Chain A
C-alpha cells in the first residue's frame, strides 16, 4: 500500500518537476529568442533547412491529407447541418469548428508525428555522440545554433501549414455549400465573414504559435535528457512524444477556455 502511494507521489512529483522545467526552459528560450545575437547567418541557415524538412518536404502529403480530410469533414458537417436544420448557424460552425479547432489540431498532429519525433531523436543522438558537448567545448551556443532555429521553424511552419489547411477546408466548404445548400460565392463569403471575429483569429494564431513552440521545445528538452548510452535514445523519444501529446491537449483545452470565457 505504501509502495503504491509512494509510486503515485513520485510520479506526481516527477510530472510537476518536468512541467516546471519545461515552463522554465520555455521562458529562457523566449528570452533568448529576442536577443539580437541570435540573428546570424548560421542560425538562419539552420532555420531555412529546418523549414524545408518540416514544412516543404511534407507539403504534397500534407495537401493530399488536407484535401481528403477537409472534403470528408466538410461534406459530413454540411450534410448534418442541413439535416438537423442549423442552416442559420452554418458560418459559426464552419469558422468555430472547422477553421478554429479542426485545422490547427490536425496540423499540429501531422507535424508532431513527423517533426517532433525527428527532432527528439536528432538531439538525443547528438547528446549520445557528445556533439552537444563538442559545441559547448568550442563555445558555440547550442541554444542559438541548434534549438532556437528549430523552435522558430516549428512556429512558422505550423502557422503557414495551418493557413493552407484552413484555406483548403474553406474551399471544400464553398463546394459543399453550393452542392448541398445551393449557395453562391457571395452568400458563402458573406456568411463566412460574418462569423469571423478578431478575437477568435487572435486566439487561433496564438494557439498555432504555442503549438509550434511546444512541439519543438519538448522534444529538444527530452532529447537533452538522454544519457550517453545509446539505449536511452528510444526512451527519450517515447517520453518526449508523450509529453508533446499532453502539451497539445493542454493547449487545446486552454484555447477553448480562452474562447468561451
Chain B
C-alpha cells in the first residue's frame, strides 16, 4: 500500500476524531459534565408527579436533575437531586421547593429563594418539596372568577335590555327623556353663552388695541414720558453745572455784599444830601419858611 494513502487516512481519522471529540467535549462542558455534582436529598409526602430526570428550576433556569427516588421506612418519598457545584448557591436553607405540574408541559421542581443571605443548603438536610397541582388549583382559582363572570354577564344582559328600550343614544346615556331635554337646554344655553363671550372678547380686543395705541403710539404716553424724562435729564445736567458754580458765586456774593454796604452808605449819604437839598429848595420857594440852602 502506498505510504501517502496511510498518511492521508491517518490525518483524516485524527482530524475527524479531534473535531468530534472537541465538539462533544464542549457540549459536555456546557452541560456541566465535568463539574463536581452534589446530591441533595429531598422529602415529599407523595411520589406522584415526580420522575427521574425531572428538572430542578431556579428563576426559569435548570439547575439540577432528579436522580433517584425511594420510599423511606416512615412512608415518605426520598428524592435525590443532582446539582452541579456552580448552581448550589441558589439553594439556601430558607429556600422553598415546589413541584409544579402545569396543564401543558413537563412537570418540574421550582426553587424559590428570597433570602440570599441565608446559609447554603447542605447535603445533610432533607427539605420538603411541596406539591402544587396546577389543575386542581386552577379549578379552585377559576371557580370564583366564573361566578363573578356569571354576575357580570347577568348585569350586562339587564343593562342591554334596558338600553334597548331607549329611543336615542342620548337617552341610553342619560337614562330618561327629561334628562335628555335638560341636556338639550343646557347645550342651547351654552350656545348663547358662547356668542356673548365672543362679543365680550371682541370688545376686549378693541380696548386692548386702543390701550396699546395710547401707550405705544406716536403720541402715546410712553413716548411723551420719554420726552419729559429726556428734558428733565437735560435740565438736571444744567442744574448740576449751576450747583458746581454755587461756591464761586457765593464767594463773589460775599465780596459783593461788602461793596453793597459801601454803596448803600453812599446811596444813603446821597439820599440824605438830596433830601437836605430838597429841603433847601423848599426853603427858597416862596411861601416857604426857610430859604436858606446848605450845600453839602
Chain B 1-49 interface residues, beta-carbon cutoff 8 Å to A: 1, 5-6, 8-9, 12-13, 16-17, 19-20, 23-24, 26-27, 30-31
State how many angstroms separate the Cβ of A155 from the closest Cβ of chain B.
13
Chain B residues, Cβ within 8 Å of A45: 1
Chain B residues, Cβ within 8 Å of A196: 27, 31
Chain B residues, Cβ within 8 Å of A163: 16, 19-20, 23
Contact assessment for A170 and B13 in the assembled complex, using a CB-CB cutoff below 8 Å: no
Instruction: Using C-beta atoms within 8 Å of the partner chain, give the interface range for chain A.
Output: 20 to 34
Contact assessment for A48 and B27 in the assembled complex, using a CB-CB cutoff below 8 Å: no
Rounded to whole angstroms, the CA-CA distance of A200 and B152 in the bound complex is 52
Name the one of B5, B12, B16, B27 contacting A193, with C-beta atoms under 8 angstroms. B27
Chain B 257-275 interface residues, beta-carbon cutoff 8 Å to A: none
B62 interface residue per 8 A CB criterion: yes
Chain A residues, Cβ within 8 Å of B62: 194
Contact assessment for A49 and B16 in the assembled complex, using a CB-CB cutoff below 8 Å: no
Contact assessment for B26 and A160 in the assembled complex, using a CB-CB cutoff below 8 Å: no
Contact assessment for A170 and B23 in the assembled complex, using a CB-CB cutoff below 8 Å: yes
How many chain B residues have a CB neighbour from A under 8 Å?
Answer: 18
A56 interface residue per 8 A CB criterion: yes
State how many angstroms separate the Cβ of A156 from the closest Cβ of chain B.
8
Contact assessment for B9 and A52 in the assembled complex, using a CB-CB cutoff below 8 Å: yes
Given contacts A51-B13, A163-B19, contact A190 B30 (CB under 8 A): yes
Chain B residues, Cβ within 8 Å of A56: 8-9, 12
A189 interface residue per 8 A CB criterion: yes
Contact assessment for B23 and A51 in the assembled complex, using a CB-CB cutoff below 8 Å: no
Contact assessment for B30 and A48 in the assembled complex, using a CB-CB cutoff below 8 Å: no
Q: Mark A146-176, 1 if CB is under 8 A from B, else 0.
A: 0000000000100011011011001000000
A55 interface residue per 8 A CB criterion: yes
A81 interface residue per 8 A CB criterion: no
A192 interface residue per 8 A CB criterion: yes
Contact assessment for A49 and B1 in the assembled complex, using a CB-CB cutoff below 8 Å: yes
Most chain B CB within a 10 A radius of its CB, from A156, A170, A193: A193
State how many angstroms separate the Cβ of A206 from the closest Cβ of chain B.
15
Contact assessment for B5 and A49 in the assembled complex, using a CB-CB cutoff below 8 Å: yes
Given contacts A45-B1, A192-B27, A193-B27, contact A52 B8 (CB under 8 A): yes
Rounded to whole angstroms, the CA-CA distance of A196 and B224 in the bound complex is 96
Given contacts A48-B1, A160-B16, contact A193 B31 (CB under 8 A): yes
Contact assessment for A167 and B9 in the assembled complex, using a CB-CB cutoff below 8 Å: no
State how many angstroms separate the Cβ of B164 from the closest Cβ of chain A.
42
Given contacts A189-B26, A192-B30, contact A48 B5 (CB under 8 A): yes
Contact assessment for B9 and A164 in the assembled complex, using a CB-CB cutoff below 8 Å: no
Rounded to whole angstroms, the CA-CA distance of A166 and B23 in the bound complex is 10
Rounded to whole angstroms, the CA-CA distance of A189 and B5 in the bound complex is 36
Contact assessment for B6 and A167 in the assembled complex, using a CB-CB cutoff below 8 Å: no
State how many angstroms separate the Cβ of A158 from the closest Cβ of chain B.
11
Rounded to whole angstroms, the CA-CA distance of A3 and B269 in the bound complex is 189
Chain B residues, Cβ within 8 Å of A59: 12
Contact assessment for A167 and B20 in the assembled complex, using a CB-CB cutoff below 8 Å: yes
Residue of A nearest to B32 (CB): A193
Chain B residues, Cβ within 8 Å of A190: 30
State how many angstroms separate the Cβ of A186 from the closest Cβ of chain B.
9
Contact assessment for B30 and A51 in the assembled complex, using a CB-CB cutoff below 8 Å: no
Name the one of B9, B26, B31 contacting A48, with C-beta atoms under 8 angstroms. B9
Binding site for A on B (CB under 8 A): 1, 5-6, 8-9, 12-13, 16-17, 19-20, 23-24, 26-27, 30-31, 62
Q: What 8 A-B pairs come out closest when comparing CB atoms?
A: A193-B30, A163-B20, A160-B16, A193-B31, A56-B12, A52-B5, A52-B9, A51-B9
- Additional 20 contacts, C-beta under 8 A, given A52-B9, A161-B16, A163-B20: A48-B1, A48-B5, A48-B6, A49-B5, A51-B13, A55-B9, A56-B12, A59-B12, A156-B13, A160-B16, A160-B17, A160-B20, A164-B20, A166-B23, A167-B20, A189-B26, A192-B30, A193-B30, A194-B31, A196-B27
25 A-B pairs with C-beta separation under 8 A:
A48-B1, A48-B5, A48-B6, A49-B5, A51-B9, A51-B13, A55-B9, A56-B9, A59-B12, A156-B13, A160-B13, A160-B16, A160-B17, A161-B16, A163-B16, A163-B19, A163-B20, A163-B23, A164-B16, A166-B23, A192-B27, A193-B31, A194-B31, A196-B27, A196-B31
